[in-house]
């Protein structure tokens, strides 16, 4: 493709050198140990039926508890059941491994952002956010 010709059907602001640098960073991040570990943990989590069932059950129960809370029908036994389900999820090794891999990947990403931000003199990640809300 002719690099001098730059049609802009979708207003792509990334010029060649910046696109190359961004793609190089993206590729290296994806191939870094924390993100490789995260992908492995995600694959294991998606294959683990027991873990999937626990997460699904917890999600259903949380939804039910929220609904009962709004209608003022939440009982002590519902809360005990919710806590027991949360403990079961936290005790599952596959889920724990996934969470720990996620934390490591996020921590690494924050270090990378810090490196970029120090050189720019501004928090780079804050400029990339599309929504201001929490």
Partner 1 sequence: MKNRDEPRVDKLVDTTWNELEVAPREVVMHAARQFAEVLSLTDQFQAFEQAYLDFRQDTEAQSAMEEYQQKQSSLKALIMLNAVSEEDRNELKVLYDRFVHQPSVVRFIEAQDKLIELSQQIGDLLSQAIGMDFGSACRTGGCCG
Footprint of partner 1 (CB under 8 A): 12-15, 17-18, 20-33, 35-40, 42, 105-106, 108-113, 115-116, 119-120, 123-130, 134
Q: Which is nearer to partner 1, 80 or 106 (CB)?
A: 106
Q: Least CB distance from residue 9 to partner 1, whole Å?
A: 14
Rg (CA), the chain: 22
Q: Tokens 């207003």 appear where?
A: 11
CB of 96 to partner 1, least distance (A): 15
All residues at 6 or more sequence positions from 104 whose CB lies less than 8 Å from its CB, including other chains = 34, 37, 38
Torsion-angle region of 45 (φ positive above 0: left; ψ -120 to 50: alpha; else: beta): alpha
The CB-of-35 to partner 1 minimum distance in angstroms stands at: 6
């Amino acid at each position: 493709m002719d690099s001098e010709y730059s049609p802009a059907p979708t207003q792509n602001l990334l010029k060649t050198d910046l696109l190359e640098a961004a793609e190089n960073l993206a590729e290296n991040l994806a191939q870094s140990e924390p993100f490789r570990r995260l992908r492995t943990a995600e694959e294991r989590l998606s294959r683990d039926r027991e873990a999937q069932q626990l997460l699904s059950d917890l999600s259903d129960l949380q939804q039910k508890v929220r609904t009962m809370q709004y209608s003022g029908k939440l009982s002590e036994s519902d809360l005990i059941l919710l806590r027991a389900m949360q403990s079961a999820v936290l005790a599952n090794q596959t889920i724990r491994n996934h969470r720990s891999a996620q934390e490591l990947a996020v921590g690494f990403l924050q270090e990378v952002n810090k490196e970029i931000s120090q050189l720019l003199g501004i928090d780079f990640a804050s400029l990339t956010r599309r929504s201001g809300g929490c």
